Structure 1
Amino acid sequence: MSTHMTRRSFLKKIFGGLIAIGGAGAGGYYYAHEIEPKLLEITRHTIQSPLLPPGFDGLKIVQFSDTHVGFQYTLEQLGKLVTKINSLDPDLILFSGDLIDDPYGYGDAAQIIGMLSSLRAVLGKYAVYGNHDHGGYGSDLYKRIMEEAGFTLLLNEARPVSLLDGSSIHIAGVDDSMLGKPDIAAAIQGIPQDSFKILLSHAPDLADSAAGYNIQLQLSGHSHGGQVQIPFYGPLVTPPHAETYPEGFYEVGTNKMKLYVNRGLGTTRLPFRFFSKPELTLFTLEKV
């Protein structure tokens, strides 16, 4: 499917959703445009695994995704988000892609770097590319922003996260599925089989491939939870590579790899959210 057709289909279905919202009156339209996009929801989940070293029991991970700064999501909102993340006192911070909606036309990179630099996580900050991070010739800009802000940008590679006692887990990250070249095998190459592995992939539907590897948890974004949902129906449309797994928890494959799809924070194409609140996710690891 071409990018042009994808965007046209997306807009057509979203406009259909807006007509449905409009059926609820002007109040519904106002809510979807002005209120829900600012209603940040913090979701909290526990991830259990026997592969976790004892020292990682109780470790806290914050995932945030899809800010799309510059479209509807403002620098003021980003600053408040940084404060909120720090208040959760995470040990690890993971960003699953799509930082700026249009990197080519954006001119406040220095301010974003300053804000993201103030994020605190004793065991590190990690990120992967989303399709918007590559789009508009933005790949190098995104790389510069994240690295200057203290993030480790994972491009089909992994890093150990180690404690003082020598125990570790591994964070792997793959390139975006739409505009990049994801390589799961390369990303996990050399990681011990008995290590607990977290895979960062902007696109959730990559889980169907990732489940064939010895990966315990995949964290993704990209879908925005559909951005516009209709009660008792669900998302009107989800983007390519987020059609099978639009939001929340799934168990994928015969090994039941856990997948979590974050709804993201910003909007794209059209500045509306309806029954799909922006999300910040806090995971607590638990050894069993």
Structure 2
Amino acid sequence: MNPIHFFTLGYYPQYLLIGIIIGIVIGIYAFFRVKYALNDSKLSKNKVIIISALISIFALICCMNVWSNAAIYTLYIFLCSVLADIIRLIVKYPLKDKHLKFMPKLHKKGGLALVFFIIIIIVGAWGMNHIDQTEYNMTTQKIGNDSYKVIFISDTHYGTVQNPQLLKDSISRINDIKPDIVILGGDIVDERTSNAEMKEVFEELSKINSTYGIYYVFGNHDTQPSQTDYENGNRTFTDIELNQTIKKNGIRILNDEKTTINGDIVLVGRSDAEWDGNARANVSEILNEEDLSKYVIVVDHQPLEAIENSKLGVDLQVSGHTHAGQVFPYKELIEFEGINSYGKYTIGDMEQIVSSGLTGWGWGIRNEGKCEYVLININ
């Protein structure tokens, strides 16, 4: 990873206040914790205060952008240190230091917190590099005696934080399933994907064998903004190159469009809300009354407008984007905002499936949710 990415993994000003509050709390804690660790050192009192203050200020700066590696790792160090403090208090008072005599020194110098932090990183790295198959079963009267196997893949963020070989291995497993329909739910590439990697991932995905084809909707990261390639200061591929590559590999783009599959399923692909906002069409403008007699699947990269789609008569909505939080505590923040973050939800007569994604974004770890592709059996 480019060192600059440590502080620049996306920036959303609406979260600045949260970052400042978290940074102040952690900064104050860091000041007294470092001062405590150094109070029996050979350093002068002034030097101890200066060092403690500098680390405190650095912690505050790291937390300013809550969507950065700097913020998440600073938070984890803080939580690990607090946990170590709690354990130390338990050993010191209820247990009277009778059994763990090494604890005082290990705790004071931060060794115990460091052990917890290393465990979190190792578990998170494991989580980012293991992909599971998640299966859901749907029943409907709209498709008679037929059945369909639908594969949903989203959020690969190819070439950024996961070994590309894992995608290739997943494609082999998917082909063993013999899917009828494959849906790519956006963020297959992102602002750190190179031009060569962009071409490679769609070539690999085109190797999935499906009865009725592969369909694509854009995510908020697919279309690179003009200044988010942090190494070069410019885009690695244009919108035209991206679209041409997708189509060249036999993948059909659905951008506020629909298609009917085998006379049974109407597949609606939405443009991404973050890019098109109010400009994107309503699902009601895309569907007609005849479509609703068929099994209607709406694919929206972000899990939005589920209640509206349910009222329209949509049968299934599939989305990605949330990564099931990916790292603690983002799942909790997502759900606090009232967004369905992961799994299967029933909304009226409609089912909604939100995938955690094949990979993850930005951070090279995952400790919330799992890396997955989704198999949906429609019977």
The equivalences for 1:108-119 within 5 A come to: 108-119=197-208
| Greater RCO (CA < 8 Å, at least 6 residues apart) | 1
Contact (CA 8 Å) 1:90, 1:120: kept in 2 or not? yes
Contact (CA 8 Å) 1:63, 1:94: kept in 2 or not? yes
> How far does the alpha carbon of each residue in 1:53-111 deviate from its partner, in whole angstroms, 9 at most, with x for none?
322x2x21111110001211343222222212212211111111001121675333332
Contact (CA 8 Å) 1:200, 1:220: kept in 2 or not? yes
Aligned to 1:100: 189
Name the CA distance, whole Å, in 2 between partners of 1:168 and 1:189: 15
Root-mean-square deviation (CA), in Å? 2.7
Query: Hey, which of these two has a bigger chunk of strand by percent?
Result: 1
Match of 1:168 among 246, 254, 264: 264
Name the CA distance, whole Å, in 2 between partners of 1:18 and 1:243: 25
Aligned to 1:188: 287
- Given the superposition, is the C-alpha separation of residues 139 and 251 from structure 1 closer, same or farther in structure 2, using an over 3 Å criterion? farther
Contact (CA 8 Å) 2:161, 2:362: kept in 1 or not? no
Match of 1:177 among 273, 277, 280: 273
Name the CA distance, whole Å, in 1 between partners of 2:190 and 2:258: 26
- Equivalent pairs counted in the alignment come to 272
> How far does the alpha carbon of each residue in 1:177-206 deviate from its partner, in whole angstroms, 9 at most, with x for none?
111243222332465321110000001023
The sequence identity of aligned pairs, in percent, is: 20
- Given the superposition, is the C-alpha separation of residues 213 and 6 from structure 1 closer, same or farther in structure 2, using an over 3 Å criterion? farther
> How far does the alpha carbon of each residue in 1:212-269 deviate from its partner, in whole angstroms, 9 at most, with x for none?
3110000000000000146xxx8244399x85100001122xx331100000022213
1:257 aligns to 2:344 (yes or no)? no
Residue 134 of structure 1 deviates from its aligned partner by: 2.1
Contact (CA 8 Å) 1:154, 1:173: kept in 2 or not? yes
Name the CA distance, whole Å, in 1 between partners of 2:357 and 2:75: 19
1:285 aligns to 2:342 (yes or no)? no
Aligned to 1:71: 160
> How far does the alpha carbon of each residue in 1:6-40 deviate from its partner, in whole angstroms, 9 at most, with x for none?
593433863465334685341221221x2110121
1:62 aligns to 2:151 (yes or no)? yes
Aligned to 1:10: 67
Match of 2:118 among 21, 26, 32: 26
Residue 208 of structure 1 deviates from its aligned partner by: 3.0
Could you say what secondary structure the match of 1:175 adopts? coil
Contact (CA 8 Å) 2:131, 2:166: kept in 1 or not? no
Unpaired runs of 5+ residues, structure 2, are 1-10, 17-64, 82-112, 227-237
Which stretch of the first structure deviates more once superposed, 65-74 or 101-110?
101-110
Match of 1:53 among 135, 138, 144: 144
- Given the superposition, is the C-alpha separation of residues 185 and 142 from structure 1 closer, same or farther in structure 2, using an over 3 Å criterion? farther
1:225 aligns to 2:316 (yes or no)? no
1:154 aligns to 2:246 (yes or no)? no
Name the CA distance, whole Å, in 2 between partners of 1:4 and 1:140: 30
Could you say what secondary structure the match of 2:243 adopts? helix
- Given the superposition, is the C-alpha separation of residues 29 and 124 from structure 1 closer, same or farther in structure 2, using an over 3 Å criterion? same
Contact (CA 8 Å) 1:174, 1:187: kept in 2 or not? no
- Given the superposition, is the C-alpha separation of residues 169 and 78 from structure 1 closer, same or farther in structure 2, using an over 3 Å criterion? same
Aligned to 2:88: none
Aligned to 1:39: 130
Which stretch of the first structure deviates more once superposed, 221-230 or 21-30?
21-30
Contact (CA 8 Å) 2:190, 2:223: kept in 1 or not? no
- Given the superposition, is the C-alpha separation of residues 238 and 271 from structure 1 closer, same or farther in structure 2, using an over 3 Å criterion? farther
Aligned to 2:340: 245
Contact (CA 8 Å) 2:325, 2:368: kept in 1 or not? no
Query: Hey, which of these two has a bigger chunk of helix by percent?
Result: 2
TM-score normalised to the size of structure 1?
0.84
Contact (CA 8 Å) 2:159, 2:193: kept in 1 or not? no
Aligned to 2:365: 272
Name the CA distance, whole Å, in 1 between partners of 2:280 and 2:251: 19
> How far does the alpha carbon of each residue in 1:119-144 deviate from its partner, in whole angstroms, 9 at most, with x for none?
11011111101000123255333322
Aligned to 2:307: 208
Contact (CA 8 Å) 2:159, 2:197: kept in 1 or not? no
Name the CA distance, whole Å, in 2 between partners of 1:92 and 1:226: 27
Could you say what secondary structure the match of 1:101 adopts? coil
Contact (CA 8 Å) 1:168, 1:195: kept in 2 or not? yes
Could you say what secondary structure the match of 1:135 adopts? coil
Name the CA distance, whole Å, in 2 between partners of 1:71 and 1:38: 12
Unpaired runs of 5+ residues, structure 1, are none
TM-score normalised to the size of structure 2?
0.65
- Given the superposition, is the C-alpha separation of residues 103 and 28 from structure 1 closer, same or farther in structure 2, using an over 3 Å criterion? closer
Could you say what secondary structure the match of 2:377 adopts? strand
- Given the superposition, is the C-alpha separation of residues 83 and 4 from structure 1 closer, same or farther in structure 2, using an over 3 Å criterion? farther
